[in-house]
Structure 1
Amino acid sequence: MTSDPMVVRPPLGTGGRRVTVRGPILGPVHSDADVLEFLRRAGLPDAAGLLDDPAWVQGRGRRAYHHEAA
């Protein structure tokens, strides 16, 4: 077990990026919306405010997410 927060791992060869929280794999993400959904499922209603906080979300190999034009 690790003390890492949500970690978005490097891209997979099949597309997407694996997400782990303190060790266990939650599943793949393909977009910022997927990262937000994992945070919401964890009971964090203000998930969008946590994306820039490395205490909550960290990226491996590149940023955990990227801002997309709305």
Structure 2
Amino acid sequence: MTPAAKLVVYPPDENGWRRVRYDGVAIGVAHRPSDIRVFLAAAGMEDAEDADLTDPGFVEWRGGGPEAWEPSGKPGNGSGSV
């Protein structure tokens, strides 16, 4: 059985914001991948700036990957950079 990812990024809401949980705790609502790194640093993660947001063992992207930041109901346009 694969261990659950420590970081979960939820689908974009109607404004394009994505709720973020780390180790089971809500840590913020992100509008871009760089927001997630800021939240991780504030949560005490060492080397948050170097976190691999594409590693499925670390992060579970729900409702689209790191490129999906469009409001719900619209396809991602690739505007978010990892």
Calculate the TM-score normalised by the size of structure 1: 0.69
Q: 1:48 to 1:9 in 2, by over 3 A?
A: same
Residue 33 of structure 2: aligned partner: 32
Equivalents in 2 of 1:19, 1:46: separation in Å?
A: 14
More helix by share: 1
Q: 1:13-67, CA deviations, whole angstroms, 9 ceiling, x for partnerless residues? A: 243100012332212000111011122223221533421212222201111x235
Q: 1:22 to 1:49 in 2, by over 3 A?
A: closer
The structure having more radius of gyration, on CA atoms, is: 2
Residue 75 of structure 2: aligned partner: none
Q: Any residues of structure 2 matched to 1:1-70 within 5 Å, and which?
A: 3-41=4-42, 42-45=44-47, 47-63=49-65, 65-66=66-67, 68=81
Equivalents in 2 of 1:31, 1:23: separation in Å?
A: 20
* Contact 2:9-2:21 within 8 A present in 1 as well: yes
The amino acid across from 2:13 in the alignment is L
Compute the RMSD of aligned alpha carbons. Answer: 2.1
More strand by share: 1
Greater mean alpha carbon deviation, residues 39-48 or residues 7-16: 39-48
- For these two proteins, the number of residue pairs brought into alignment is 65
Calculate the TM-score normalised by the size of structure 2: 0.61
